[in-house]
Chains A and B, each alone.
Chain A
Amino acid sequence: MYSWRLFKDTENPVSPASGLSIDDTLPLSLSHHGSPPILHLYIFKPSAIVGKYQDIEAALRLDRCRDRGIEYNRRSTGGGTVIMGPKVVALGLGIDIDHPALGKGIGGVFESLSAVLTAALGDLGIEARFRPKNDLEVNGKKIAGLSATLETEKAILFHVSLLVDFDISLMLDIMNQPALKLYDKGYSCFSQRITTIQEQLGHDMDMEPVVESIENAFTQQFGVSFEEDEPDTWENKCIQDFVNTRYTNPDWVFSHKHPRSSMGMGELKTPGGLLEIYLSLAGSTIEHIVITGDFFSTTKDINLLESALKWTSARREKIEEHLSEVWREDMIHGVDVPTLAEAIVKAKENLVRM
């Protein structure tokens, strides 16, 4: 059986600078140092981590982070802000892009890794499924987020955050999303969109059985065994270089290489009730959307619609196209795709630059 390396520590939370530097070293070690794939399972100190091309000052309330002792940083993979802590599994995987067990192309890569996580959660008694393109959900609620980057010619870095427990109040306090800022029912709004392993199981859960399930799922899905290991001398130098040049470097943390952030809210009276849309854009792309109001629908359906729009173009025709891909009759009673798209466009018309 082919052997992968495993860097594992779920007892000692690390700073974002330390954890992310190790992760960034993983694909380099494959490409330039002859390492087999490396799985890094660990936990962070309470921290907020933005995606590579996010505007950190628009995404986070940095003053609140500092007041509460929450570290913040920027990872090298795509996507939005994640709130990490001792009860969130952090997973970094460095793997060859042409690994035979890995799906082809962007969609295939995410599907392959999602299958591992779905199996791991299944082992714990939780029925999760992949919500294209980048999330894992349980009954319509997000339980894990996935992101990736092609850092070298041969190897990719894959990131996962898997929620064992999650502090929504902390997220509401330190994040700067429009629905969080404007929506006075933020807690209930987000508790309907996010779930955790502990919530699903109905009891406290240690981290060790969770990471064991992940290890076992990799073993089965990829047909590999793991050898627990630590970074060697070459890798430690690489890690220290990333700490110095990226994760303690203000030019990286506060990078201006990102699309312009804007946020807005729109309302539309419809035969089905009032639609309220909270929208944040990264350039011309929908980064975050909350669909709420006094209409009849289910949490699962609303989450599905929101998810279909995240990280897609905010052009009306694209909004209608992506909604139509998941739309079913009466998903929102008395509302059709063009009407919902119209409400979203109204939010777009009220955008304020952050």
Chain B
Amino acid sequence: MAIIKGYDMPDELYYHEEHSWARVKDDRVTVGMDDMFQKEAGDIVFVDLPDEEDEVEQGEVCGKIQSRKWIGKLCAPVSGEIIEINEALEDDTGLINQDPYGNGWILVIEPSDLENDLENLIHGDAVVDFIDREIKRAEEERAKA
């Protein structure tokens, strides 16, 4: 478990630059949104999910997430077939805020090109740089404002 600048970014996960995460286990990839996203977005109102058996490409927008009056995107961190979605989110989207890496998982993908896809994701030491970059960008914008 790694806390980077106040954000919980578990070491074992792979991160897409649009803040989705991927956990690889037994040839299945569980996907959710990271702690930085949920803190920035605030309370999640609704998650518009794809259907099981849909095919997605790495980086493709495969879902929409509404927080307050903003509708943002869920980008697939890897390519493959969606084999499971988290039905608990239908009743309580707050799970993404409360437990983004546990009960707030969003969907599971059966990957089609995992090895190559993982090389394109942010992992290990690079996560610190990623969070630093995101914080710096936010600070620059605030300074401009």
Kindly state whether residue A77 has any CB partner on chain B within 8 Å: yes
Nearest chain B CB to A308 CB, angstrom units = 12
Residues of chain A within 8 A (CB-CB) of B145 are 103, 108, 111-112, 115
- Taken together as a complex, chains A and B put the C-alpha atoms of A146 and B71 apart, in Å, by 12
Contact indicator per residue, chain A 264-308, by CB within 8 Å of chain B (1) or not (0): 000000000000000000111100000000000000000000000
Instruction: Output the residue of A52, A110, A259 with the most chain B CB within 10 A.
Output: A259
Taking CB as reference atom, which chain A residue is nearest B75?
A153
Q: Is A106 in contact with B72, judged by CB distance below 8 angstroms?
A: yes
A70 to chain B, nearest CB (A): 22
**B-contacting 9-mer, from A3-11, A15-23, A33-41, A311-319:** A311-319
Q: Which of B46, B69, B73 touches A259 (beta carbons < 8 Å)?
A: B46
| B114-144 contacts to A (CB < 8 Å) | 137-138, 140-142, 144
Chain A residues within an 8 Å CB radius of B42: 106, 133, 312
A-chain residues with CB within 8 Å of residue B71 when the two chains form the complex: 52-53, 76-78, 148-150
A78 to B73, CA, bound (A): 13
> Is B138 touching A108 in the complex (CB atoms < 8 A)?
yes
Q: In this assembly, does A107 line the interface, its C-beta being within 8 Å of a C-beta of chain B? A: yes
Q: On chain A, which size bracket covers the interface?
A: 35 or more
Give Cα A26 to B96, complex, Å: 31
**Are the CB atoms of A150 and B73 closer together than 8 Å?**
yes
The residues of B that contact A109 with a CB separation of less than 8 Å are 70
Partner among B73, B90, B93, B141 whose Cβ is within 8 Å of the Cβ of A104: B141
Q: At the interface, yes or no: A32 with Cβ under 8 Å from chain B?
A: no
B141 contacts A311, C-beta separation under 8 Å: no
Known contacts A257-B48, A258-B46, A108 near B92 by CB under 8 Å: no
Judged by a CB distance under 8 angstroms, whether A250 is at the interface is no
Q: Tell me the complex Cα distance, A285–B66, Å.
A: 11
* A283/B72 in contact, CB under 8 A: no
CB contacts (< 8 Å) of A107 on chain B: these are 40
CA distance A218 to B128 in the complex (A): 37
A105 to B72, CA, bound (A): 10
Q: A-facing mask of B57-69, CB < 8 A → 1, else 0?
A: 0000100101111
User: Counting CB contacts under 8 A, is B84 at the interface?
Assistant: no
8 Å CB contact of A311 from B40, B45, B48: B45
Q: Which residues of B contact A195 (CB under 8 A)?
A: none
Whether B40 pairs with A134 at a CB distance below 8 angstroms is no
Q: Is A79 engaged at the interface, CB distance under 8 Å to the other chain?
A: yes
In the bound complex, CA of A52 to CA of B61 (Å)? 17
Contact residues of A between 225 and 275, Cβ < 8 Å to B: 257-259
Bound-state CA distance A150–B37 (Å) is 15
Cβ-defined contact, B91 with A283, below 8 A? yes
- B24: interface (CB < 8 Å): no
CA distance A75 to B72 in the complex (A): 15
Q: How far is the CA of A315 from the CA of B144 in the complex (A)?
A: 35
Given contacts A106-B41, A257-B46, 10 further A-B contacts (CB under 8 A): A103-B145, A105-B40, A133-B42, A147-B69, A150-B73, A259-B45, A283-B90, A283-B93, A285-B43, A311-B67
What residues make up the interface of B, taking CB atoms closer than 8 Å to A?
A: 40-46, 48, 61, 64, 66-73, 90-94, 97, 137-138, 140-142, 144-145
